[in-house]
Structure 1
Amino acid sequence: MHKADRLFQLVNLIRVHQPITAERLAERVGVSVRSIYRYIDDLSLSGVPVYGTTGVGYALDAAFEMPPLRLSRIEVDALTLGMEMLAGSADNELSSAARTLLSKVAASAPHQTSDPQQSPTRALNSSTAVTRGHLSTLRQAIEHKRVLQITYTSLDGVVSRRLIQPIGLFYWDGKWTVGSWCNTRAAYRDFRVDRIAAILTSEEPWRGSPQIALRTYMRHQSTASRTDSSLSR
């Protein structure tokens, strides 16, 4: 990555997550903390109003505005492909947002072909109406911290009913999964959304705790093998 691109990435990270520490920036950018200090100096010298507070992190002056975003041809192609994949696989609300964003990108990038059908790189996957409906329900449950009762068929054909606290939705290997705290098993479980037969909102209250959180779930997943049997049984 060119230095100018890294500096732009750094400004954008500070703008979105401010205040943010040098350690966190180094983790997100993939460089050393010492490099972050050098980049912050470069930004300050170039006129970007970034300031740091000891023990708090870096932030930008409230009046600072990012310059108009300029995308390269390959960046536009990548964004177009990503939005097309999302439009074909997500729930109706996210699909609609992806198509709207795609039209905005096409309008703001004159070097990009105006007809996505002419692109040689395409995303042709499509979710079923049932899966789209489940994705919408799960996304709202995650946002509003609702406990759900699902009827689920495991990979070996066993049907079970579970009470889950959904934590996040993940798309990998062409399938959506919902990462959850399974109240029934008292453990993290991943459920393939296309194998969920029914979803009901439960009256059981959400069990708020540090254990039932996205960051904790992600740490748990990072220590587990992808071939582990955590895909629910």
Structure 2
Amino acid sequence: MSRSERLLDLVQTLRRHRLPVSARALASELGVSIRTLYRDIATLQGQGAPIEGEAGLGYVLRPGFMLPPLMFTDEEIEAIVLGSRWVAKQPDNRLSKAAADALAKIAAVLPDDLREDLDASTLLVGPRTGASEGIELAAVRQAIRDEQKLAITYSDAGGSDSERIVWPFALGFFDKVRVMVAWCEMRQDFRHFRTDRIARLDATGLRYPKRRQALLKQWRMTLEDAPQR
């Protein structure tokens, strides 16, 4: 167990106790020595954690304390690295660069031991697969954020093109394809559009009449109601 993970466990243990708890009881629960426990409490207090008490009397964590945002467990570090590396392999160039930049920012402010864990992560992502996109995925993400309609030319599986006005509200990333989830004005229903089949995409500057969270909730309900195969 890393030192940072041990400190997190100590904070969580203190949170479970409303009344002061002895150092011996804390050390036993955490599986560390009394000396290590005293040192960890001093470290947390030095970082601003409102831990009250002293040796022989017990310790209590004052309510309302929020954990420092850059203290992670080993598995949280692995999740961050794996997720960032996966996004960095996606064909959305701006999102890919943002993932690499975010990981670099996190690494820059992590404690030394956690930075070493991040750099040494052995969870790898395979090479990018699938064809390149014919459109800029950043434009889709922007339309989702702005809750604006898009005008698209879409080619179905049979190769037939159609002009659509859609209300995009989600973008799914799969190993080989990306899928835009949207309300289609032509079909008057939810539709899933593979982004590699979108030949043209134009921003309309027009807001669609529903909030994207409402559309997302309604779409999820249709999935739950769909017959199971």
State if a TM-score over 0.5 links the two structures.
yes
Q: Write out the 4+ residue segments of structure 1 that deviate beyond 4 Å after TM superposition.
A: 126-129, 209-212
Give the TM-score taking structure 1 as reference length. 0.60
Residues 144 and 178 (structure 1), Cα distance of their counterparts in 2 relative to 1, 3 Å cut: same
Aligned-partner residue type, residue 199 of structure 1:
L
Partner of 1:124: 127
Name the structure 1 match of 2:97: 96
* Structure 1 Cα separation of the partners of residues 86 and 152 of structure 2: 26
Please point out which of 155, 168, 172 is paired with 1:153: 155
Aligned letter for 1:47?
R
Residues 179 and 189, structure 1, Cα contact 8 Å, conserved in 2: yes
Partner of 2:115: 110
181-190 vs 76-85, greater mean Cα deviation: 76-85
Describe the shift of the 1:226–1:92 C-alpha distance in structure 2 as closer, same or farther (beyond 3 A): farther
Task: Specify whether residues 80 and 225 from structure 1 end up closer, same or farther in structure 2 by C-alpha distance, changes over 3 A only.
Answer: farther
Equivalences, count: 171
Q: Aligned-pair distance for 1:212?
A: 5.9
Output the CA distance in 2 between the equivalents of 1:140 and 1:226.
Answer: 33
- Counterpart position of 2:170: 168
RMSD: 3.3
**CA drift at 1:162:** 1.0
Query: Structure 1, unaligned stretches of length 5 or more?
Result: 12-44, 50-63, 228-233
Shift of 1:156: 2.9
Partners of 1:124 and 1:184 lie apart in 2 by 37
Percent identity at matched positions? 28
Structure 2 residue ranges without an equivalent (≥5): 1-7, 16-59
Please say which structure displays the higher CA radius of gyration. 2
Give the deviation of 1:167 after TM superposition: 1.1
Q: TM-score, normalised by structure 2?
A: 0.61
